[in-house]
Every structure is written in structure tokens, then in C-alpha cells.
Structure 1
Amino acid sequence: MPADLAVIGLGHLGLPLAQAAVAAGIETIGYDSDPRPVAELAAGRTPVDGSLTASDVRRMLSGGFRPTTNPTELGRVRTAVICAPTPLGPDRTLDLTAVGEAAHALAARLRPHTTVLLESPAGPGTTEGFLRTILEEGSGLRAGRDFHLAYSPGRLDPGRRTHGHTNTPKVIGGLTPACTESAAAFYGRLTDKVVRARGPREAETVKLLETNFRHVNIALVNEMAVLCHDLGVDLWDVIRCAETKPFGFQAFRPGPGVGGHGVPMDPSYLPHAGRTPGHPLRMVGLAQEINTRMPQYVIQRCATLLNEHGKSARGARVLLLGVTYKQDHADQESSPATEIACRLMDLGATVSYQDPYVPDWRVRDLPVPRADSLYEAAAQADLTVLLQHHRTYDLQGLAVKAQLLLDTRGASPAGAAHRL
């Protein structure tokens, strides 16, 4: 059965896009080569990353959404959006393997006049170089002449209810003006505002700037957190006062580390088309260095607090609260909780956890005990560490029950806990 849209990649980017498309009345299929998410969605179950609820999935299915592993379905659509993951590899380059696989699956079935869009995080030049080459070689068609090709950075903030596809402006950069307009016509059905970039490279660099802006500013407040602790200054009060300035300041807050799918990108480490030899973004590299140090800083604070209360990290019972990377969300992508748990275990601590969104948690392929009763577990633990402030946590009550509480999010009332 033909459809208007194929969303390729049913993860944290693809599923919300498919949800918005179905809600807008667009006949949509969701393609993924991995049968596991397809089977879960077809059964109406919540995806592992928590990007949608079970009721969201059921509404999509009743609205005509069809998840599939059959690539032949890709040859029957007017628009195809690639939302495959591009994680940061060990060499700090974006891994385009999944994008390449999606492109090959689409290219073999690409029809003339189809609009192909890439939403996966990608460095400048990826759409014109990497993706275009695969599509043209695999289909025999020419981008910009036989089919439309454009890039649009994913901008959704998982779990944020105030900003969705409708009220978040969509940036689009097409290979040609006609490509841009074709993409704008599609996205115009989903969003109130379409912003046209000069081309795909500009649109890809929008994602680069937005992601690096976040990481650099988080690194700044993380450094301020360490400094303020050493000076005996309440950073959280400093931020509260600073954000009253109506211009020239945007509040960011420190934490135990930076998680999520938006990895910092330095063009010096991007694939071939985006390399800038001799011109690294030094601030981005430094920000990454600072942010990756935060889990170790949390461990230092844990050991110091235990020591100040006559206890050793070895043999200490440590309860970790909130192991997801984001508040009120099930996604654990790059959450600092895993590294913190590993470091605590290396020190000889006994680690348990509590998270309302994570029923099972494994570290080093071993199950971590989950606390059923939050207050009881906090009372028994030598140290309780708040890593993610889920709104279900009563921090005032928790501070009373916990023997020792370290709040890495500054969410507890002033004086109720030791704050980062």
C-alpha cells in the first residue's frame, strides 16, 4: 500500500517525527532494519528509549502508522526522512554506518520526484557528499534533477511538552532551490514556521552550532561549580541571581556529566567532507574535556563526604537516584550514571539505584539492585546521590530520611543536602 512518508530509523528522532506526521493526517510507514523496535511498535508497546508512551503508539497505529522491516515499502512513498543514529565513535568521529545502511536500502528503490531528507546529526558536507553519492550510485538518478535532497537538523527536546514539531521552527537546506521548496512543502504540514538555509551545509552547521553551544555553556557552569565549592560560594544562588538579567545571559546549570544524543562536534574530527585541517574548535575540545571530568569529580565529592562522616568508600552503601540522562524520561543515552556507578564499584562501594523510569539497570553487564522503597533505601544507605531530578522525588522528605545526601542537580531546598 503506498504511503506519503517513510521515516527510516525508529529511534528518538524518527518516532516523534512519525507521530507528528500521523497526527497531521499523513500516511506514514516506519522502516527499521532491526526487527526488535518494529515488533515492539507493532504490538503497541513503549519503545525502549521512552520517546513515546504506549498510548502514543496505540494512537499512531489506529491512525494508520505501519512499522515495517520490509525495504520494498520505501519505493512507494513521496517523501523519505532518514533519522538513523550517528553516535560518536572512539576516534571522536560521527559514525555514519546506520545512515549509510538506510541510504543503501532507499537507493535501491528510489523513484523519480521523491523528496529525500536527512535529519540525523551530521557534519557539514555529509548530505552533499556521503548521502548524495550513495543515493545516486544506488538508484541511477541524479539529486537535484531526478529527486529532491535536503538536510533538516532534528531539534526536538525529548520529554519537553512545551515544544513539539508544531511550534519548533524547522530549518531546511536543499541541494537546489527546488529541493528546499519541496522539503519546505513537506515540513510545512508539520510546523508553524519553516526557516530556509542557503544550502545543506548551512543547515548541517546549524546543528553543529546548537549542539556545541549547549556543551560549551554546560562546561562553563561545571567549572564554576568546582570553583564555587572550593570558595565556599553557593553557585545555585549565583545562577538564580544572574538569570534575572534581561539580556546577555542564558542560565545553564551544572551536573554530574553530559548525556543525551547531541554529541559535541569538532570539524577537525568530522568525516572527509567536513574536515578543517589546522582549524579545530579548541573551545569545543576543552568543553568536552571538562564535561567528561565531571563523573570523577562527583566521585571525589562522594569520597570526601563519606570520609568527613567517618566512613570509607570501601564497603559503603551508595544509592543512586535517577540513572537516565534526562529528567522525567526513560532514555539512558550517554548518562553519566553508568560511569559513576563503575567508579564507585572500583572503590569497593556497594551500589544500588532507584529510578521510576528504569525497571532494570545493568552496569558492566551485571544487574544493579533496584530499591523498591525510596525512603527506606535512603535511610539504609551511607550515601544517597541524586544524579537526575525526576519530579516524582520528594527531595524535602528525602533529605530528612537520607543519612547523607549529595545533590548533583541543585534541586533540593537550600541547606537540605550537600549540593554539587
Structure 2
Amino acid sequence: MKHQLLSRIEDKTAVIGIIGLGYVGLPLLLRFAEEGYRVLGFDIDMAKIGKLQQGQSYIKHIPAAPIAAVVSAGFFQGTTDFSRASEADVLIICVPTPLNKYREPDLSFVTSTTESIVPYLRPGQLISLESTTYPGTTDEELLPRIASTGLEVGKDIFLVFSPEREDPGNANFTTRTIPKVCGGATPDCLKVGLALYRRVIDHVVPVSSTRVAEMTKLLENIHRAVNIGLVNELKIVCSAMGIDIREVIDAAATKPFGFTPYYPGPGLGGHCIPIDPFYLTWKAREYNLHTRFIELAGEVNTAMPDWVVGQVMDALNERGKALKNARILVLGIAYKKNVDDMRESPSVVLMEKLQNKGAEVHYCDPHIPVFPKMREYHFNLKSCELSAESLASFDCILIATNHDAFDYDFIRREGKLIIDTRGVYREVWENVVKA
């Protein structure tokens, strides 16, 4: 089976199934199709399938043109029918791995997806999990379900973990150029996984097991979360001392060794950094271990929106205005600049906290014209147009996400009070508070 599958991967007759066509699955779909593989895209959202088959994009930083090109070339088909998993030689799982309300791993998307395809698995297939998760997930959750079919992993069917490394909106790195880690359930599984990814990724990094690959992804994101927690805490200290933390970071970054700059913000956002560290803290408890360092960083980062709200209150008070009934405009509600991704966005947390304290909250985000339905938050709002009149009508403008589309000079000239959480304004201005 191994040699037949390797041959199909090599001559590009292998059909690639991508399960979950979001921020990870869609770029991967395009990468395989651009290399001449036929791709079968699976998603439970029929609207996504419909848009893709019409050559349209539903993710802002992914243009429609490459989608239309692979559709017209006949390299892509979309479906919500998971029984078609039997048609694919490769099945790559790219589904969410959120936390539940107790901040524990929610693997329901991974396990339900696996159970959906298990009845249709056959000899000669490769299964790859790309969803970020705790070490042991591939061995403990996927492998037994696959083995229940009677197929022997490493002989009849192959299983790898290869974590996604997408950075939405970052034009400097693409799916092809970002090195890709891959670990197999067996040596032959790894061999097949490497053969697959080397066809579409410039540099593939083999590791000794799926657990090493799973831990690698967590380390990458924990490293960022901890360092962001550090600079967020230093920002609070520097603010009390009247020091500009960003000036400090920029000066420290001139050291050519031993220092990596991280910048503070109003909190953590995105699907990875606020969530992934807690996958390890949860799994560590199984070994009677407590990840105090990681959890402390999480506490600091989670508390940042409250600190920012306090800065808003203080700035308004200094101008003789209470937060209650104040008109607040939040600039940018995506979790990072120049994207339309709102997953775990601290901007939304800020909006809720300000509203709960009696403020009249509005927002402006050129990438998100209407506030979408979310599991935990909902505001019946549309993005405001920025004009001299509208800016002057707000008691406070809170820069939460620093999109390049904003005219910051215009905003500063027309706004009464600006709270800058992103370091947009480096000079000192009377109506700007650096937070």
C-alpha cells in the first residue's frame, strides 16, 4: 500500500481531501491545486462550498482569482458529503480546536470529523491532522478510531500530525514558504507524510513522533504568549512611570543578539495564542504537573482589556466626563491588523466591558462592515463611516486594531480623545493617551 500511495503522490494522480475550509484549509487547498493535484474540499457549511465553486473567496486576505483559476482548471470540487472521503487518497483535517467554558480542550470538531470519515476509510490512504492540539491527541484519539476499521496503521493506512503555521494577512510568508513540521505514527507513516508535503512545501521538517510534532506547535505559540505577557506587564509598569514601553522595546531591539522584540496590546486574539497554551496546561495535569509560568502569562494577557478600560475611564475623568453614557468608538475589531478574522479578538471583549459600564459603544472596521453573529458576543451594529463630524461626536476613540486603512492623522486632528493601545502615535499629542 505504501508504494502505491507514494507513486500516486509522486505522479500527482492522488486525490487530496481537505476537511475544513477555513483560514488553514483554504490556503492548503489552493497550494495542492496549484501544483496540479485534484482536491476534494469538505465542509459542513454549504455556503462556503457554493462560493468556492463559483470562484469566490470568503476570507479577505485570500483573493478570488486563484480560487477561480483552480476551479476553472477542474482541480477543485467541494462537498458536504463526508461519504466521499473514500474517493480521496489523502485526508487532511483542518478543523477548529477551541476551549470550552472551563478553559479545557474541546476536541469535538476533531473527533466528530474523524468519526464522520471512519466508515469510508480504505487501504492506501493517508490521514493528516493539522489542527493544533495537546501531545497525544493523534495517538489517543485518531489512531484507535482508525484502527477500529481493521486497517493497520503504518501498513494499510497511514497517519501523521503536521501542524498548521498560517499567519493570516502576512504577505511575507505563504503556505509554500513556511517550513512544515511532520511527525508520523510509524516510520512508514512519516515517510508517506514527508513525500506528500514535500510536493507542495519548500522545506519540510521531520520529527520522531506525532507527539513531538504536537508539542512543537504548542511551544511556538506558548513562546509568543509568554513573551507578550511579559511586555504587557512591563507596559503597565512603564505607564505608571511615565515611560513609553515601545520606545524601550525599539531601543532594546538594537541589540544584535539575545533579544527578540514583542509588542504589547489590548489583549491576545486569534485562534492560537489565547487558546493553545491551555491545551498544554490541561494535559500536564494528567502527569500531576502545573505549568505556573504559562498560566501566569495567561492571567496577565487576559487582564489587559480591564486595564485598557481603566485607562479610558481615567482619561475621560480628567476631562470631566464619566464613562457611563460616554460615546466610545472602537477602531478595529479584527484580532490583528488588515484581516477580517475576529476569533478571540480583544476588541470585542473591550466593547462588552465598556458597554457593561454604561458606555454607548460603536465601532469602525473597514474589513468587517456588519458585526457578525458570535457564540459569546453580539452587537447589533454596523461599521461607522469616519468623517470629521462623526469623529467629533465621540467622547473617546479607542484604537484596538491598527488597520493600515485608517487615516490616523485625520483621526487625531478630528478626535477629542484617543486611547492608543497599538502604538500608532509615537509623538506626544495633547489628545492622545498611550495605553
Under a length normalisation based on structure 2, what TM-score does the superposition of the two structures give? 0.91
Q: How many angstroms does 1:72 deviate by?
A: 2.5
Q: Which residue of 2 aligns with 1:5?
A: 16
SS of 1:135's equivalent in the other structure is helix
Return the letter of the residue paired with 1:352.
H
**What is the identity percentage for the equivalent residue pairs of Structure 1 and Structure 2?**
34
What are the Cα deviations for residues 14-38 of structure 1, in whole angstroms up to 9, with x where unaligned? 1111111111111111101232322
SS of 1:98's equivalent in the other structure is helix
SS of 2:299's equivalent in the other structure is helix
* Counterparts in 2 of 1:404 and 1:56: CA distance versus 1, 3 Å: farther
Q: Which residue of 2 aligns with 1:261?
A: 271
SS of 1:366's equivalent in the other structure is coil
Q: How many angstroms does 1:203 deviate by?
A: 0.3
* C-alpha distance in structure 2 between counterparts of 1:167 and 1:10, whole Å: 20
* C-alpha distance in structure 2 between counterparts of 1:51 and 1:120, whole Å: 20
Task: Determine whether 1:365 maps to 2:378.
Answer: yes
Paired residues, what number? 415
* Counterparts in 2 of 1:88 and 1:103: CA distance versus 1, 3 Å: same
What are the Cα deviations for residues 191-235 of structure 1, in whole angstroms up to 9, with x where unaligned? 111111011000000011011111101100100110000011111
Q: Is the 8 A contact 2:218 2:280 kept in 1?
A: no
Q: How many angstroms does 1:268 deviate by?
A: 6.0
* C-alpha distance in structure 2 between counterparts of 1:246 and 1:276, whole Å: 41
* Counterparts in 2 of 1:60 and 1:303: CA distance versus 1, 3 Å: farther
Q: Which residue of 1 aligns with 2:434?
A: 419
Return the letter of the residue paired with 1:329.
V
Q: Which residue of 2 aligns with 1:235?
A: 245
Q: Which residue of 1 aligns with 2:410?
A: 397
| Aligned pairs (5 A) from 1:56-205 | 56-63=66-73, 64-137=75-148, 139-205=149-215
Return the letter of the residue paired with 1:5.
I
* C-alpha distance in structure 2 between counterparts of 1:359 and 1:370, whole Å: 5
Under a length normalisation based on structure 1, what TM-score does the superposition of the two structures give? 0.95
CA RMSD of aligned residues (A): 1.7
Q: Is the 8 A contact 2:412 2:418 kept in 1?
A: yes
* C-alpha distance in structure 1 between counterparts of 2:322 and 2:238, whole Å: 25
* C-alpha distance in structure 1 between counterparts of 2:298 and 2:47, whole Å: 33
* Counterparts in 2 of 1:157 and 1:375: CA distance versus 1, 3 Å: farther
* C-alpha distance in structure 2 between counterparts of 1:160 and 1:376, whole Å: 34
What are the Cα deviations for residues 155-181 of structure 1, in whole angstroms up to 9, with x where unaligned? 111111111122111100001111111
Q: Which residue of 1 aligns with 2:351?
A: 341
SS of 2:199's equivalent in the other structure is coil
Aligned residue among 25, 29, 46 for 1:14: 25
* C-alpha distance in structure 1 between counterparts of 2:389 and 2:426, whole Å: 21
SS of 2:182's equivalent in the other structure is strand
What are the Cα deviations for residues 364-403 of structure 1, in whole angstroms up to 9, with x where unaligned? 4331243123443222211001100111112122111111
Q: Is the 8 A contact 1:327 1:388 kept in 2?
A: yes
* C-alpha distance in structure 1 between counterparts of 2:56 and 2:200, whole Å: 25
Q: Is the 8 A contact 1:395 1:413 kept in 2?
A: no
Return the letter of the residue paired with 1:243.
A
Task: Determine whether 1:29 maps to 2:40.
Answer: yes
Q: Which residue of 1 aligns with 2:419?
A: 406
What are the Cα deviations for residues 213-268 of structure 1, in whole angstroms up to 9, with x where unaligned? 11101100100110000011111100110111111111111111101010232466
* C-alpha distance in structure 1 between counterparts of 2:270 and 2:325, whole Å: 31
